[in-house]
Structure 1
Amino acid sequence: MESLESLDSLRHLIQNHPMIDNHAHNILTQEAATDYDTYPLESIVSEAHGRALKNAVSTLPLLRATNQLSELYGTPCKEWSDVLTAHSQWVQKDYQGLIRRSLEGTESLLLDDLLTDDDVEPYTWHDSFTNSATKRIVRIEAVAASLLLELMSEERKPEETVWGQFRQRFLSALESAMEDPAVVGFKSVICYRTGLDVDPYSADEDGLTGSLHRILDSGTRRSGYRIDDKPLNDWLVQQTLKLITFRKRAGIVKPLQFHTGLGDNDISLLKSNPAYLQPLIAQYPDADIVLLHSSYPYTREAGYLASVYPNVYLDLGEVFPMVSREAQESILRQSLEITPTNRLLWSTDGHFHPETFWLANKQFRQTLENVFVDYVKQGDFTVYQAKTMIADILFHNSNRLYKLALEPNYPAGTTENSLSTRDEVSVSTPDLLNNFLKSSPDLEYVWMQWVDYTATVRVRIFPLKEFTRILQKEKRIGICSAVEYMLQDDTILPEGSATGQYYLEPDLTSLYRNGSIVAPAAPSATVMTFWKSEDGKPVEGDPRSVLRNIVDALDKRHGINVLCGFEIEVVFLKPQKDEQPGKTTSYHPVTTNHSWSQMTVETRRMVPILEEITRTLKAMDIQLEQIHAESANGQFEFVLPPAAPVAAVDTLYAARQVVATIADRHGLRATLHPRPFANGAGSASHTHISINPPTHEDSFLAGILENFSSVAAFSLSQDSSYDRVRSGIWSGSEWIAWGFQNREAPVRKISPGHWEFKSMDGLANPYLAVAAILAAGSLGLENRVPLAVKDCPVDASSLTDAERSGLGISKKIPKSLQESIESLEENEPLRTMLGTDFVKKYITVKKAESARLSAMEPEARRLWVLERY
């Protein structure tokens, strides 16, 4: 059971977290706001029109609104007439004040501003009432009607047909909207016109010409033209989805919203069921589609579509305040039945009167509180999970979908930490441990791990009872702050100090069961940790925090989500001990008849070990994507699935430990040494990075290439790493370049926004290396760096100087750690982005480590690295 304090923090977040209104309409001018004949105030709680609207005064939604509006107006409202009076007084005395109060807590409005051209304020006018600029949603039927009116008012050349001109102008208008930064999406009201049973395939030109002429025959230049003939209506939707799909591949993402469900008597209730859209959704899988208005009364159908199609989102708007409180709670619960919460969006469908926004926001927050607090009390969600879902629904999902790149502005009197879920880790959510224990009731120990600057994995082991005390903050686990100046053999550099400590804070999102192979003595689990200061704040140099901060910055500043995936390359060796005094163990590849992606007789002998590794990882919920033999003798590659960067690195370490442990169990050594033998290919830790959306992928890539030499101080972090910086051994060659599917370029482009970074190996701390890569890309984005280096289709070392110059290739990859560190020391922007003090400490450690290893004989150094990594 969650504590009362935890539930209070959940309620606080629900009532105060900023929101993005992903679908609304313009507000009336002050002059029109009291024209109740044209814009009846009853419309704030009903879709009915005319005489039917008069019945709204006897509905539960209107009675509830009457009572609640007393709070907005600051005056008692017992009857609907009191509401009309208070509204008129506010409009006359302080209309802008009424609007400001109604939009309080709204970060941004996404307006369908083509509802009417009369009596409403332009979309930019609304900016003064929200924290961020208003954006537009373009209604395609309104665009079509406007173009027809324009076209029929002009003279045409004899060879020009109405259909030909209309088709050209409509497609041009869509293209213009795509290029307009103020436009973030499109909308169709085909539900009102011909229903949602949209044909996914275009009709022939003759059929569309006839459809257009039927529309022209039913209207006039004076009355206008209503787009309500099925072939043409379907065609408008099809063309919009085709363009959305095409432009998304180029990195421009603008969804299509569909009015579904709830509407006035102009709608076909049966054909407003979003289930009719299923063939269309399947036909355009790359086009993001938003089902508006909770699809009420077809919420479950919409939720089903959003659960089985990754391009479908469900908007929760309009039913607030159009239906009763019980109905609102039922709709929200239905939407949560199977709909992924990262596919739920909030909107008010606010229009004309500012009260529509205020009532919708108030009632939605009340409904969120009632439903989510109940779920938490019942044990369905933890407070942390509930907070994450609510923040996503109110803000982050729309921010990501529409690529708004906004940061939430928290209300006065609150702080980001009190409302944000980003910094809440599982130390405050012991239920995550309880859920884990349901599948591992025999758990006895938990290993708390961290990774230092030398990429050494360090661990503390706790009995479960003591670990639980750590989670409950009954005790803290300190590690000496000198960990930032520690070498592999525990030597503390002079810059370090035995005074002071950091505290390990477990991140339960990284918790996994070790299994009997990794830890055979007793059932145990491993969890990664963050470093926290004495006052509980993140330590700047904590590797996991460094990476998390860069990932968060990309999301906040640029609206970019990052995925990361790794390839583990290892060489399996047979140790051979020499019993003579003074002699060391020698290592030989487990296979010698060996080649890339081939299963020789020797290679097949390794299959049982490879399968044991796969089964062990699967039991830890790590699903390998593939295994294959690599080029060097005894070398194999394990491909891990993509994940968010911090989670991906957590998985990488878990998988490496399994590989090493199972190899040892069979009397073998699995080494990550970049080049354990001079003849043959080396081992890397190829890193796949993808950004979404890939809108400015060229600048991101340009930033990586521009800062490549500095990044190498993290990704090629020991002198042994540079034994791989050669051409002709499939390591990425020697020149800073990129190429589409070019495996002899240090950066291989795979698809839009997706690259493989080849200049990284198993000696690096991957939290820091990935952070450096992303920081370099972020610098490219912030400075809009043009991509001066062209696509290189071959090994750049095979080109002449003139040929390389023609491709913009001018710099070599550093040939030593010293060169990389010197580049990093001179790169103030990258050091600042990563953390100046942290980078200074990291460089100090790397210089000392390099000096220590350089003093060894080459063979001793090779064995030293081979046995530790």
Structure 2
Amino acid sequence: MGAVREALDALELVDHHCHGLVTADLPRDAFEELITEGGTWPGISSFDSPVGLAVRRHCAPLLDLPRHAPPDEYLARRAELGAQEVNRRFLAASGTGVFCVDTGYAPDRLTTPAELAGAAGGTAYEVVRLENLAESVAARGVEAGDYGDAFQQAAHEAVRGPGVVGVKSVAAYRTGFDLDPARPSRTEVTQAARRWLTRGGRLDDPVLVRHLLWTAVDLGLPLQLHTGFGDNDIRMHRSDPTHLTDWLHLSGGAIPVLLLHCWPYQRQAAYLAAVFEHVYLDVGLTLHYVGPARARAVLAEALEITPFRKLLYSSDAYGVAEFYRLGALAFRHGLAALLQDRVDADELSLPDALRIAEWAGAHNASRVYRLSGPS
């Protein structure tokens, strides 16, 4: 084991984008549903995928099972221990001390940020999902002409809540990023709100999504944007973050913009981070789906031109605590191997490698979100 790996293994991570965990015990079908973005299909098990193999290889020992334990044995042991103990073990094994929790997607009963922090023995903050907020404004009843102001007021009130450190948009799911980058006028917002409120449903009007993004600029907090990989609701070609280039110019660096996940657009995200002062990225979610065996390759592409102060760690863990373990393991080992090879080739000094590792694993997020601790 090299010096960089030792340092990263010992580093307490800041997970700048994650979700709560299911608190109920999970039958096999529910567990398999939670470890895939693609859904489950008859005759095809989620265990027969890169992430399924990674769960059996790297998570089974934490349940007192041999590596590569068969799925039925794995799930039986998981049920025997119970959700609370399973969550505690995997959170502890992740070595994460700080969690920035997106509370906007919760079809299941999930741990709150406080409950997650308690289970991990760490600290948790909240990230407010803006689409959910807009939909709650509509659900309460609002006239089309009042929607724009009502949403802005609700957003300003939400971010004043205790422990809120950022906001998030899932515009990539709703419209994609190939939008008119300009701030919409009040008249445009009213007309779009009238169309949306009449038909109902989720917020997917391009004008109102633009209004949401510009409201985020006005809030002044870091804005997380889902990019790239997600479930089949995504139109992948429209989630390429380079579609945001004109909007990034117009918004003028008013807030940090954090590109989440990014695969297969990690190189495009790296370009944006290299040319815009206020753009940052991670490859969270990606790493546990490709597994520790391929994490280095993804990180290598993300770091080809990214300034070292611009890469952050996230797990994007949701529902099952295994993803906290796998995300952290893949990040630590992938980044350590990449940096150690550069040290061994004399392309990088060991002190520089250790500094880059600490920045990516914790300090960059602490600085961007203005968290307490080293920056």
After TM superposition, the score normalised by the length of structure 2 is 0.92
Compute the RMSD of aligned alpha carbons: 2.2
Counterpart of 2:288 (choices 299, 321, 328) is 321
Matching residue of 1:133? 123
Provide the C-alpha distance between the structure 1 equivalents of 2:303 and 2:119, rounded to a whole number of angstroms: 31
Q: Does 1:192 align with 2:184?
A: no
Q: Aligned partners of 2:83, 2:215: CA distance in 1, in Å?
A: 45
Please tell me whether the aligned partners of residues 292 and 326 of structure 2 are also in contact (alpha carbons under 8 angstroms).
Answer: no
**Is the alpha carbon distance of 1:62 and 1:162 closer, same or farther for their aligned partners in structure 2, counting shifts above 3 Å?**
same
Distance 1:11 1:194, change over 3 A: same
Paired AA for residue 306 in structure 1: A
Q: Distance in 1 between matches of 2:18 and 2:336?
A: 23
Contact 1:303–1:338, Cα closer than 8 Å, also in 2: yes
User: Equivalent residue for 1:770?
Assistant: none
Pick the aligned partner of 1:21 from 15, 19, 26.
15
CA distance in 1, matches of 2:181, 2:370: 27
The aligned residue for residue 243 of structure 2 is 276
- For residue 138 of structure 1, give the secondary structure of its aligned residue in structure 2: strand
> Could you say which residue in structure 2 is the equivalent of 1:286?
254
8 A Cα contact 1:106 1:131, kept in partner:
no
Q: By how many angstroms is 1:316 displaced?
A: 2.4
CA distance in 1, matches of 2:163, 2:83: 32
Q: Which residue matches 2:336?
A: 369
Q: Name whichever of 88-97 and 67-76 sits farther off.
A: 88-97
Partner of 1:236: 212
Structure 2 residue aligned with 1:34: 26
- Deviation per residue, 1:506-563 (Å, 9 max, x gap): xxxxxxxxxxxxxxxxxxxxxxxxxxxxxxxxxxxxxxxxxxxxxxxxxx5xx6xxxx
For structure 2, the 5+ residue unaligned runs are: none
| 8 Å Cα contact 2:78/2:86 also seen in 1 | no
Q: Does 1:172 align with 2:153?
A: yes
When residues 25 and 202 of structure 1 are mapped into structure 2, their CA distance, relative to the original with a 3 A threshold, is same
Structure 1 unmatched runs, 5+: 1-6, 152-160, 220-224, 245-253, 407-555, 560-869
Does the aligned pair in 1 maintain the 2:33–2:46 contact within 8 Å?
yes
Shift of 1:181: 4.3
- Matches for 1:289-308 after TM superposition, within 5 Å: 289-293=257-261, 295-308=262-275
Cα distance change on mapping 1:305 and 1:274 into 2, 3 Å:
same
1:182 aligned residue: 163
Q: Distance in 1 between matches of 2:105 and 2:84?
A: 27
Matches within 5 A, 1:138-153: 138-151=128-141
Q: Does 1:66 align with 2:56?
A: yes
Q: Secondary structure at the match of 2:2?
A: helix
Q: Which residue of 2 aligns with 1:202?
A: 183
State which of 102, 121, 126 in structure 1 corresponds to 2:111.
121
In the alignment, structure 1 residue 353 sits paired with structure 2 residue 342: no
Q: Report the AA paired with residue 148 of structure 2.
A: R
Q: Is 1:334 the equivalent of 2:301?
A: yes
SS of structure 2 residue aligned to 1:134: strand
Superposition deviation, residue 277 in structure 1: 0.7
Which structure carries more helix by proportion? 2
Equivalent of residue 381 in structure 1, options 343, 348, 351: 348
Higher relative CO (Cα under 8 Å, sequence separation at least 6) belongs to: 2
SS in 2 for 1:120: coil
Matching residue of 2:226? 259
Distance 2:122 2:52 in 1: 31
Q: Residue 41 of structure 1 contacts residue 84 of structure 1 at CA under 8 Å; is this kept in 2?
A: no
Q: 1:96 to 1:332 in 2, by over 3 A?
A: closer
User: Which among 143, 150, 156 is matched to residue 162 of structure 1?
Assistant: 143
Shift of 1:230: 1.0
The superposition leaves residues 420-477 of structure 1 with CA deviations (integer Å, 9 ceiling, x where unpaired) of: xxxxxxxxxxxxxxxxxxxxxxxxxxxxxxxxxxxxxxxxxxxxxxxxxxxxxxxxxx
Counting aligned pairs with the same residue, the percent is 28
Q: Distance in 1 between matches of 2:310 and 2:83?
A: 41
Count of residues in Structure 1 that have an aligned counterpart in Structure 2: 373
Mapped to 1, the partners of 2:134 and 2:297 lie a distance apart of 37
Q: Which residue of 1 aligns with 2:34?
A: 43
**Aligned residue for 1:550?**
none
Please give the secondary structure, in 2, of the residue aligned with 1:51: coil
* In 2, Cα distance between equivalents of 1:399 and 1:145: 30
Give the drift of 1:92: 5.7
Asked if 2 retains the 8 angstrom alpha-carbon contact of 1:42 and 1:53, the reply is no
Residues 396, 49 of structure 1: alpha-carbon distance in 2 compared, 3 angstrom cutoff:
same
Q: Which residue is equivalent to 2:73? A: 82
User: 1 CA distance for matches of 2:362 and 2:92?
Assistant: 19
Taking the aligned partners of 1:58 and 1:187, their CA distance within structure 2 comes to 32
TM-score (norm 1): 0.41
Other structure's SS at 2:246 match: helix
In structure 2, how many angstroms separate the alpha carbons of the residues matched to 1:11 and 1:97? 24
Deviation, structure 1 residue 87: 2.0
The residue matched to 1:342 in structure 2 has which SS? coil
